[in-house]
């Protein structure tokens, strides 16, 4: 049976999944027998910062792994609702995931709270982040540029187009009535 030492955990929002995430996933795949990927803020969608649903993000992850010819059977997906940031949140992750020892992340806050709780945080090989950032990608889409397609793996671009994600993001960025969009 696969044990605690054989698993690493990666957490992100994947809004959308880009080559920055993909590099971390590849790194985890090389080093570990099982890779737990946690889709954060799963309870939110259709906002400028979180346009895609958790389900759409799971599809991006799975299709990217297939496209990269990595084995899907090493992947464990977990969906975590939006939480207040706090050290206790580590323990929701612990509760929702099969046991793991290693955490791979670039986010300094996530690194810190997992270190404070005794996890092994691994720094993946530094890759130039450049534009591999969700905000950059969402803004490119909102502005009508096609440049974003170079920043995400091909199946992600395909999913975004299939679900009409481009219009969704444009609309979400268009008229940000103050606080309003939080209503419904």
Residue ranges in 34-73 that form contacts with a copy of itself under rule CB under 8 A: 40-47, 49-50, 53-56, 58-59, 62-63, 71-73
CB of 146 to a copy of itself, least distance (A): 21
- Asked if 143 is part of the footprint of a copy of itself (rule: CB under 8 A), the reply reads no
Q: Which of 5, 68, 99, 154 binds a copy of itself (CB under 8 A)?
A: 99
Q: Please, which of residues 105-134 interact with a copy of itself by CB under 8 A? A: 107-113, 133-134
Site string for a copy of itself, 8-27 (x = CB under 8 A): ---xxx--------------
Residue given tokens 């481009």 in the structure block: 166
CB of 150 to a copy of itself, least distance (A): 20
Contact 77, 39 (CB under 8 A): yes
Contact 151, 132 (CB under 8 A): yes
Residue given tokens 């991006």 in the structure block: 60
Nearest-angstrom CA–CA distance, 53 and 67: 21
Q: What φ, ψ does residue 120 adopt, rounded to 5°?
A: -90, 110
Q: Which of 86, 123, 143, 145 binds a copy of itself (CB under 8 A)?
A: 86
Residues in the chain: 184
Q: Please, which of residues 151-180 interact with a copy of itself by CB under 8 A? A: 155, 158, 168, 171-172, 174-175, 177-180
Question: In terms of CB distance, is 49 or 146 closer to a copy of itself?
Answer: 49
Q: Which of 5, 96, 123, 145 binds a copy of itself (CB under 8 A)?
A: 96
Q: Which of 8, 28, 35, 89 binds a copy of itself (CB under 8 A)?
A: 89
172: left (phi over 0), alpha (psi -120 to 50) or beta: alpha
């Amino acid at each position: 049976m696969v044990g605690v030492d054989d698993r690493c955990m990666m957490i992100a929002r994947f809004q959308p999944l880009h080559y920055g995430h993909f590099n971390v996933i590849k790194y985890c795949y090389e080093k570990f027998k099982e890779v737990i990927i946690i889709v954060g803020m799963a309870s939110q969608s259709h906002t400028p910062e979180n346009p895609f649903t958790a389900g759409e993000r799971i599809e991006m992850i799975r299709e990217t792994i297939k496209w990269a010819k990595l084995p899907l059977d090493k992947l464990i997906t977990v969906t975590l609702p939006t939480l207040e940031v706090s050290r206790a949140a580590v323990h929701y992750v612990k509760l929702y995931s099969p046991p793991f020892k290693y955490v791979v992340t670039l986010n300094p806050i996530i690194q810190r709270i997992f270190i404070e709780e005794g996890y092994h945080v691994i720094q993946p090989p530094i890759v130039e982040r450049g534009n591999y950032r969700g905000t950059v990608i969402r803004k490119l889409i909102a502005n009508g540029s096609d440049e974003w397609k170079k920043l995400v793996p091909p199946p992600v671009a395909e999913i975004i187009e299939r679900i009409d994600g481009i219009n969704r993001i444009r609309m979400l960025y268009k008229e940000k009535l103050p606080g309003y969009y939080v209503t419904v």
